[in-house]
Amino acid sequence: MKKLLLLAFFTISTLACKENQKSSNQNNKEVTFKDLDLIKSKPENDIEEFLKKNNYSLLETQFANQWKSELSDDIIQFNGKGVFVFLTYNLETYNKLVTDLKKSTYKNSGKTMKNGLEVESYTRDKETIFLSTMDNPENGKKVYSLTFLS
């Protein structure tokens, strides 16, 4: 009888751990280009709900509506008036987003240089996305950004 109870307990524990890991993995999903493109022009409360659901928390900074991922160094900032910015230190994350951007209906509008900063732009209808890479003056690390204007 003890062996049967021990086996039942072990089976239930294993199943619970697998289910917990599965739901934990679902919460750890990365934000995709499609996610950013869909949410960028939503009302502020919809954007905030999306960010909370994707493990972002509001930063207490001088900038309004600046959210940081709890799972990475990614930051999203928006003003509710058509400007939406995604910042990351992770080149792999940035490259995934840019690859998906290039597969989208946005068209490359070329590159420009201003004040030593190279900016590549993509347009669709009356929307523009600017891609840039810069050094963070505080720590010298490269920051990769996608800035959505609508």
Tens digit of pLDDT at every position of the chain (150 positions): 333 333 333 334 333 434 444 344 445 578 999 999 999 989 999 999 999 999 999 998 777 789 999 999 999 999 888 899 999 999 999 999 999 999 999 999 999 998 888 999 999 999 999 999 999 888 999 999 999 998
CA dist., res. 48 & res. 11, Å (int): 39
Helices (H), the chain: 2-27, 33-39, 44-53, 91-103
CA dist., res. 76 & res. 30, Å (int): 13
Query: How buried is residue 88: exposed, middle or buried, by Cβ count under 10 Å (0-12/13-18/19+)?
Result: buried
Query: How buried is residue 130: exposed, middle or buried, by Cβ count under 10 Å (0-12/13-18/19+)?
Result: middle
CA dist., res. 2 & res. 22, Å (int): 30
Torsion angles phi and psi, residue 6, rounded to 5: -65, -40
The pLDDT mean for the chain works out to 83
Domain residue ranges of the chain, discontinuous segments joined by +: 1-30, 31-149
Tens digits of residue pLDDT in 73-115 = 999 999 888 899 999 999 999 999 999 999 999 999 999 998 8
